[in-house]
Amino acid sequence: MEGDRRVGVAVDFSACSKKALKWAVDNVVRKGDHFILVNVLPEGNYEEGEMQLWQTTGSPLIPLNEFSDPHVMKKYGVHPDPETLDIVTIASRQKEIVVLLKIYWGDAREKICEAVDNIPLSCLIIGNRGLGKIKRVILGSVSNYVVNNASCPVTVVKNADNE
């Protein structure tokens, strides 16, 4: 069974997604897992770069050594922050896991659920921004939508700073 698990984490490089990433490394991933970061960017009119090629299906699975390279990520319009890269680089060495990035363009709620099915993921960890009740009703909660619609187990890591 070792090596068959695909653990996903939804990342937007915010504080709450980094907290979910750290939680996943500390509590879920184990030796031999594929640790897949799922990033969703807003839809746009992309005239050049890799974005235009992969806008419908999402990017190919990008290995850690490539998504650590700013020149490669510029083609996709993604700018991973140093803290996120440190977390996954250390985890890949210490836990002996394969770290990959998958980028989608469009509505985060739908694309994260699409990633669960298409990759496919064994489980998903997602951060929660901690929106109040009124903002959640107006904006909608990505984590709430994913919990109710994803076809795999989903863990929501609350952002304690906003409680």
Mean pLDDT rounded to a whole number for the chain: 86
Band of pLDDT at residue 161, cut at 50, 70 and 90? low
From the list 136, 55, 145, the residue with the least C-alpha distance to 103 is 55
Decide if 99 is inside a domain: yes
Decide if 47 is inside a domain: yes
Q: Residue 152: what pLDDT?
A: 97
Average pLDDT rounded to a whole number, residues 73-86: 90
Decide if 131 is inside a domain: yes
Decide if 95 is inside a domain: yes
- The length of the chain in residues reads 163
Average pLDDT rounded to a whole number, residues 73-89: 91
Decide if 1 is inside a domain: no
The backbone region for 136, taken as left when phi is positive above 0, alpha when psi lies in -120 to 50, beta otherwise, is: alpha
Rounded Cα–Cα distance for residues 29 and 129 (Å)? 23
Question: Strand 98-105 to strand 6-10: parallel, antiparallel, or no bridges (unpaired)?
Answer: unpaired
4-45, pLDDT tens digit by residue? 899 999 999 999 899 999 999 999 999 999 999 999 998 765
pTM of the model: 0.87
120-133, pLDDT tens digit by residue? 999 999 998 755 56
Domain that holds residue 144: 6-162
Band of pLDDT at residue 51, cut at 50, 70 and 90? low
Rounded Cα–Cα distance for residues 51 and 44 (Å)? 9
Q: Residue 77: what pLDDT?
A: 83
Band of pLDDT at residue 163, cut at 50, 70 and 90? very low
- DSSP lists the bridge partners of residue 35 as 7, 99
Average pLDDT rounded to a whole number, residues 136-146: 71
Decide if 115 is inside a domain: yes
Residue 56 has pLDDT above 90, yes or no: no
Number of domains the chain is built from:
1
* CATH code where residue 39 lies: 3.40.50.620
Q: Residue 162: what pLDDT?
A: 45
Average pLDDT rounded to a whole number, residues 81-98: 96
Rounded Cα–Cα distance for residues 76 and 52 (Å)? 9
Question: Strand 34-41 to strand 62-63: parallel, antiparallel, or no bridges (unpaired)?
Answer: unpaired
Decide if 114 is inside a domain: yes
